[in-house]
Structure 1
């Protein structure tokens, strides 16, 4: 997702994630996404949904976790296909194995004027290109307006294809749609677009069950 204007600290955010990438960890977690995966809206990376999921995986697996965040501000499906997936493949080639956890949450920036068939074709390519254990989310609820109509249709298409692939699905649209209404205003930062700490807790809840299962698998050595 992307706010209406860029802020200077976006570059600082990228440096913060780069520092996390250099940290040691027994497990490797790779995130694919847009500015929500960057954690725009919170100052502390641990309160982004990626940071929350990293801490969840570490706590439940009993092992330290290193995060490589491939997400980009303003990214769309095309960016994931053309820039983020090649980086994921490079990581696999370099390490000789797939990451222990991969999460994918992207497509919200495509919803302003979406070519539905082209979007779905991109989603299918993305699904086929990530590991079988990758946890793939649909889109967040926009609450009202044309973008929400687009996001609801796109989310149905994503869920159908993720489930058909046998990969874990994160019901992001459903958990954010349940928060629809004035009560959700407190879950966004100043731009009323990006989640704040509370909002990212809601995002984390969409991934929680799938990440819990993955942590159990890793604890058992799968």
Structure 2
């Protein structure tokens, strides 16, 4: 029994030490990523400059849309989507990235929607929001705010549902929020990007592998997964736009 007690103490001490290291590691990464935010805004500000020969892509959302967690802003999912638009259209892409770090639905309403271009219709528009609402989730407020956002978005906007938060224990709230997202997006005739389904593939181990050091934001691999959720709908949107331009009806996606 004495040996067993010693073993338990050793294991407990080792686990405690690991948890302390993990907390410090996450805190250091949180500071690192926070310090990168201004550079991300500078990058997207430059990508949003007027260019009469470019097609317009508008992105709204939170820190994921900024590309936080990726090694460089353009390696975030918005940058990957922009690259795909350029590949398909054969044209330069002007990116108006209106996203704000930490944005909730209320922040999108107050600080992003009014910056949507009024005199130029974007070829593609995407939105990710809700991940920061989950911590103080109120279903009715979330539905109301998301509905106000979707009502203001351009036709054909691609809206993501909430990602999987594995291994964080908020699954029930995420599921409730995603039911609302699916319903509201359908009510407004917008297109859903199945972000939750993409990010839950592989379970907790893959979730950790695809996360930056703060274990919250996606890293380069994680952003590629986020992009995979958006790209089918973006490609369909581009095909529809091309069909409208030529008077042809695109084949079903």
TM-score, length of structure 2 as denominator length: 0.80
- Using the alignment, how far apart are the partners of 1:17 and 1:26 within structure 2? 15
Stretches of structure 2 that go unaligned for 5 or more consecutive residues are 1-28, 246-253
- Using the alignment, how far apart are the partners of 1:101 and 1:143 within structure 2? 30
Q: Which residue number corresponds to residue 45 of structure 1?
A: 73
User: Which structure is richer in relative contact order (CA contacts within 8 A, separation 6 or more)?
Assistant: 1
Judge which range, 30-39 or 175-184, deviates more. 175-184
Q: Which residue number corresponds to residue 37 of structure 2?
A: 10
User: Any conservation in 2 of the 1:141–1:152 contact (CA below 8 Å)?
Assistant: no
Q: Which residue number corresponds to residue 69 of structure 1?
A: 97
Question: How many angstroms does 1:23 deviate by?
Answer: 6.1
- Superposed structure 1 runs of 4+ greater than 6 Å apart: none
Listed one character per residue, the Cα deviations across residues 160-179 of structure 1 (whole Å, up to 9, x for unaligned) are 22123221110111111223
Listed one character per residue, the Cα deviations across residues 83-142 of structure 1 (whole Å, up to 9, x for unaligned) are 100011xx21xxx23211110101100101211110111111111110121111111111
The count of corresponding residues between Structure 1 and Structure 2 is 215
Return the index of the structure with the highest Cα Rg: 2
Q: Which residue number corresponds to residue 145 of structure 2?
A: 122
- Using the alignment, how far apart are the partners of 2:50 and 2:215 within structure 1? 33
User: Any conservation in 2 of the 1:23–1:66 contact (CA below 8 Å)?
Assistant: yes
Stretches of structure 1 that go unaligned for 5 or more consecutive residues are none
- Using the alignment, how far apart are the partners of 1:140 and 1:174 within structure 2? 8
TM-score, length of structure 1 as denominator length: 0.90
Aligned ranges 1:1-222 → 2 under 5 Å: 4-5=30-31, 7-22=34-49, 24=51, 25-88=53-116, 91-92=117-118, 96-222=119-245
- Using the alignment, how far apart are the partners of 1:33 and 1:47 within structure 2? 16
- Using the alignment, how far apart are the partners of 1:189 and 1:202 within structure 2? 13
- Using the alignment, how far apart are the partners of 1:23 and 1:180 within structure 2? 42
Question: How many angstroms does 1:20 deviate by?
Answer: 1.1
RMSD of the alignment, in Å?
A: 1.7
User: Any conservation in 1 of the 2:200–2:207 contact (CA below 8 Å)?
Assistant: no
